[in-house]
Amino acid sequence: MAKSFELSKHAVWDAYLAVKANKGAAGIDGQTLEDFDADLKNNLYKIWNRLSSGSYFPPLIRRVEIPKSNGTLRPLGIPTISDRIAQMVIKNRLEPLVEPHFHDDSYGYRPGKSALDAIAQTRQRCWRDDWVLDMDIKGFFDALDHGLVMKAVAKYTDCKWMLLYIERWLKADVILTNGERICREKGTPQGGVISPLLANIFLHLVFDKWMQTHFPCIHLERYADDIVVHCRSETQLEMIERQIRQRFTRCGLELCQEKTKIVYCKDSNRDEQYPNQSFDFLGYTFR
């Protein structure tokens, strides 16, 4: 019988190899990679059959909380092994379509780019420009508007089955450690295979491309939702910060008041005194 969607079994095999290489914990069904491998051929066939027929629905996402360096907890969504493979199938199809459009200074979760590349570029620009806006988006992954995410993805593909499954993953319910089930109306779980790519697509249109259009001479570095913007003067930076806040509000995002700050890049040629003269970016402190 003909399948609804064209999907090769090789695509599922490649996705399985990528998930296996990344390892990771079991999802809500408790199935480990070793368990999955015990009936590998049948398990992979089920994923291919359901994806290619349009009948694939993601299982519940297991949510755990992991400690952050500042003492708070980060919610992490853990899909099942099968669901990670299914997400990887879509990621492998979608990523080559969007990668050529992404900003050169977007570094997070992208092939051939790293946090060290972002840090090196930030250091260079701190020597050149006196002022930095160190931005923190409040609860970014949990705040994403599903409708806007789908509109963003649809700018790069009209493939019905990719759009169908991405929307299902966005809406997949979460189950907490106490057994409580949460219906998600916004956000994409940190820990999902497809989530970093969706985040990059969203912020490319909401921020990177918007900055290129409205402030083409302003430099920035973005690693997922960690963002640094460089300016020549405090006045210029304050104006741009207001514009960014307005832009984010229109797109359902909010800058964290406590963690977003304007920083003066002091060095031997810049000796003015300002309260903020250091910031942390990707685990590295710029002083």
Render pLDDT for 26-82 as a digit per residue (tens, 0 to 9): 999 999 999 999 999 999 999 999 999 999 999 999 999 888 777 778 889 999 999
Average pLDDT, the chain: 92
Q: What is the pLDDT of residue 71?
A: 72
The confidence score (pLDDT) of residue 210 equals 98
- Residue bearing tokens 């931005």: 135
State the pLDDT at residue 276. Answer: 62
The predicted model scores a pTM of 0.93
The answer to whether the CB of 142 falls within 8 A of the CB of 182 is: no
Q: What is the DSSP code string of 7-53?
A: --HHHHHHHHHHHHHH-----TT---HHHHHHTHHHHHHHHHHHHHH
The pLDDT, as a whole number, for residue 168 is 97
Phi and psi, residue 256, nearest 5°? -70, 120
Instruction: Report how far residue 20's alpha carbon sits from residue 23's, in angstroms, rounded to the nearest whole number.
Output: 5
- Is 271 or 127 the better-scoring residue by pLDDT? 127
pLDDT tens sequence across 102-119: 999 999 999 999 999 999
Give pLDDT, residue 275.
61
Amino acid 269: pLDDT:
60
pLDDT at 274 over 80: no
Q: What is the pLDDT of residue 75?
A: 86
Who wins on pLDDT, 5 or 176?
Answer: 176
- At residue 265 the predicted structure's pLDDT band, cuts being 50, 70 and 90, is confident
pLDDT in tens, 131-172: 999 999 999 999 999 999 999 999 999 999 999 999 999 999
Q: Which helix (H) or strand (E) holds 179?
A: none
